[in-house]
Structure 1
Amino acid sequence: MRLGIVGVTGMVGNIFLNILEKKHFSNDLYFSASDKSIGKKIFFKKKEYKIIGINELILKKLNVVLFSAGSKVSKKWAPIFAKNGTFVIDNSSAWRMDKEKKLIVPEINASFLRKKDKIIANPNCSTIQLVMVLYPLHIKYNITRVIVSTYQSVTGTGKKAVNQLNQEQSKGFSKIKVYPHPIYQNVLPHCDSFIENGYSVEEMKLINETKKIMNDQNISITSTSARVPVIGGHSESVNITFKEKPELNDIRNILKNTKGVVVQDKPKENIYPMPIFSYGKDEVFVGRIREDFSFPNSINLWIVSDNLRKGAATNAIQILEFLLDNNFF
């Protein structure tokens, strides 16, 4: 396999390397990043690699390229790689709602992929962990409505946001202004930009991507997304209404038997999902599973996952593994 990574020096790019280091893939690897990084060296599995420009990367005739360099880069370059026969697994929002592109969470819908699908969209981080829990429950009980509130790590914004938090914590202020307000000891009801309907772009991603992945436009979904001074992952408070009354023990058993999901649901023993626990792990954690007494056929639960791993890099590499296992190239 000839594999390339675009955006290798970013936060998700670093996680790509971390995960790939533990895999037994071919070492025929090529790394690309922004112009300021071209020529710099990366050490991977005791071997030195030079970061090259994206123009040079195209000439390598890759089987697969992992993109994590933003929507503008993906919009420009992904079709060029695809035209050359390279599978593009893109971590940006560029192709997610494109009707011609598949939006893939491997445990749910990788079987929809065909060899003609050269550009494959990786969903939004908060969407991935949400659908990992919703989908198996939807199969059994038919979800009619979802209310989700997210509490999202600063890592979802990038390195500069982490630096802002660290400077505010250590110095009491920060010269870095990624957010419009301080983030240390604060919560911002603001993820991404706001649009005319009063929702943020992040909130609309949750709504639209969830429906696309679950292949059901009839589910009513509303969302609120907040940024919190946390490093380890995103948390979600989720209220779910079903067509028929669910049994809580059955809900727990369904989730316990869902690949990639870990149930942590002993609140009296203080066992429940937390970002500090999910950091660096690939699973989606769910707990606080309980009946909503205020509305028929409804439950509440709490979901946590490392947004840089299952929410980004891990999911993309799982798509790569599906392509390999099914002889796409």
Structure 2
Amino acid sequence: MGFKVAVVGATGNVGREMLDILAERAFPADEVVAIASRRSQGTEVSFGDRTLKVKALDTYDFSDVDICLMSAGGETSKEWSPRIAAQGAVVIDNSSAWRYDPDVPLVVPEVNAEAVRDFKKKGIIANPNCSTAQLVVALKPLHDHAKILRVVVSTYQSVSGAGKEGMDELDRQTKAIYSLQDLQQNKFPKRIAFNLIPQIDTFMEDGFTKEEWKMMVETKKMLDPKIKLTATCVRVPVFIGHSESVNVEFENPITADEARDILRAAPGVVVIDKREPGGYVTPHEAAGEDATYVSRIREDITVENGLAFWCVSDNLRKGAALNAIQIAESLVNRSLIQAKKRAA
């Protein structure tokens, strides 16, 4: 008997991507239910070659749901994830609501898949921030080999990380520039078209933004609490795909050639690193793909054991929807959940 899977937030960018990936990967589900707020009730969304009608969250009975993929925002998750988990479903949450709870595992399957076993404490598993997810996929195999001491990362994050509103704003502003119309600025603090913004999320007292803080804390929780990490997160006028420039200092020696071989053998990583024009991956090529792409691997001569590299991934897939479904697959493959018996 297959599982019953609910996707909450099914009308959003990530929710639609979750439905697509469940179908693509032939997840062992007998039934998939699309759920969103009441104002979206009755809206049709695609699931493989089928169409699902969206049901309302506040009236849905989750008692026969096995897995709930939650992508409806932090406030909704704080209210509903515990209620859904109390009805016996495992909630895999894509928001920041539960990532820092010590009783909720924060999981990227290529990095710490065994942590899914701790879901029973609250019935919830957290998905990391999109920029953190691709970073730790690349860092994990290098850390295992040479032990990371410090990471300096600058991100170049697409507008889809700010949801449909972010994508719409870039689209509108770009059209307005070409048609010589006035630009409207709603989602971002400054114009995003033909520009970039060195702020993602709100500022904290120490001058870092919340997005930068997330990368620091989440990397420590999943990879190693002793790793020191500093980040600068930048929004760029790209629709899909986050890019990162990464400098890493190791405890033990590691060459660029060794790193290249290690990453080529690592799960979830594709190395494309030719030292010639175009011999690297950009977010355009990464869009729609599952892998974390690593390019421009080279030794950083400013520290004793240092590397620098370029890292790109589709933030809607590995940064969100795909990672959530890989977590669900980890639960199934480890026989940690069984499908509930349902009335015929």
> Does the aligned pair in 2 maintain the 1:264–1:286 contact within 8 Å?
yes
2:12 maps to which of 10, 13, 19:
10
Determine the structure 2 residue equivalent to 1:212: 221
8 Å Cα contact 2:38/2:57 also seen in 1: no
2:120 partner letter? K
| Corresponding residue to 2:229 among 215, 218, 221 | 221
2:185 touches 2:191 (CA, 8 Å); kept in 1? no
Q: Distance in 2 between matches of 1:100 and 1:27?
A: 30
- Following TM superposition, by how much is the alpha carbon of 1:177 offset from its aligned partner in structure 2, in angstroms? 1.1
Per-residue CA deviations over 1:122-174 (Å, capped at 9, x if unaligned) read: 00000011000111101110110000000000000011111111111111244
User: Which residue of structure 2 aligns with residue 193 of structure 1?
Assistant: 202
Q: Which runs of 5+ in 1 are unaligned?
A: none
Partner Cα separation in structure 2 for residue 86 and residue 210 of structure 1: 27
Change (3 A) 1:35 1:175: farther
* Whole-Å separation in 2 of the counterparts to 1:265 and 1:26: 38
Counterpart of 2:45 in structure 1 is 42
Matched letter for residue 30 of structure 1 = V
CA distance in 1, matches of 2:62, 2:249: 51
Q: How far is the alpha carbon of 1:299 from its aligned partner?
A: 1.1
Which amino acid letter does the alignment assign opposite residue 303 of structure 1? C
Aligned residue type for 2:110: E
Residue number in structure 1 paired with 2:327: 319
2:280 aligned with 1:256, yes or no?
A: no
Q: 1:51 aligns with which of 51, 54, 57?
A: 54
- 2-structure distance, mates of 1:65, 1:240: 36
Count of aligned pairs: 328
After superposition, residues 131-280 of structure 1 pair within 5 angstroms as 131-172=136-177, 173-175=182-184, 177-214=186-223, 216-280=224-288
Contact 2:156 2:234 in 1 (8 A): yes
Match of residue 21 from structure 1? 23
Structure 1 residue runs of 4 or more that deviate by more than 6 Å after TM superposition: none
Q: 1:45 to 1:269 in 2, by over 3 A?
A: closer
User: Which whole-Å CA distance do the structure 2 matches of 1:154 and 1:131 have between them?
Assistant: 21
The two structures have a TM-score, normalised by structure 2, of 0.92
Superposed CA deviations along residues 39-97 of structure 1, whole A, max 9, x for unmatched, are 22334344443211223333452000000000000000100111111100000000001
- d(CA) in 2 for partners of 1:181, 1:138: 37
In structure 2, the partner of 1:62 is: 65
The one-letter amino acid paired with 2:296 is: R
How does the TM-score come out when normalised to structure 1? Answer: 0.96
Distance 1:290 1:47, change over 3 A: closer
**One-letter code aligned to 2:198:** P
Tell me the secondary structure at the aligned position of residue 205 of structure 2.
coil
Residue by residue over 1:162-220, the C-alpha shift from the partner in whole angstroms, topping out at 9 and shown as x without a partner, is 11111111112443510111101101000111111100000000000000000x22111
CA contact (8 A) 1:160 1:176 kept: no
1:130 aligns with 2:135: yes
Partner of residue 75, structure 2: 72
Cα deviation code 1:93-139 (max 9, x no counterpart): 00001111100001111112226151000000000110001111011
Amino-acid identity (%): 43
Aligned to 1:39, what secondary structure does the other structure show? coil
Please say if residues 116 and 327 of structure 2, whose CA atoms lie closer than 8 Å, have aligned partners that are also in contact. no
Query: 2:148 corresponds to which letter in structure 1?
Result: I
**Deviations, residues 225-245 of structure 1 (Å, cap 9, x unaligned):** 000001130000000000122
Segments of structure 2 that go 5 or more residues without pairing to the other structure are 339-344
Q: 1:222 to 1:43 in 2, by over 3 A?
A: closer
Give the Cα–Cα distance (whole angstroms) in 2 for the partners of residues 323 and 153 of structure 1. 30
Equivalent in 79, 100, 103 of residue 103 of structure 2: 100
Equivalent residues of 2:152, 2:231 under 8 A apart: yes
Is the Cα contact below 8 Å between 2:62 and 2:84 reproduced in 1? no
Residue type at the aligned position of 2:227 = I
Q: Aligned AA for 1:14? A: R
The answer to whether the 8 A contact 1:151-1:226 is kept is yes
Q: Secondary structure at the match of 1:21?
A: helix
Identify which range, 311-320 or 46-55, moves more after superposition. Answer: 46-55
Judged with a 3 Å threshold, the aligned counterparts in structure 2 of structure 1 residues 83 and 60 are, in CA distance, closer, same or farther, namely closer
Aligned-partner SS, 1:116: helix
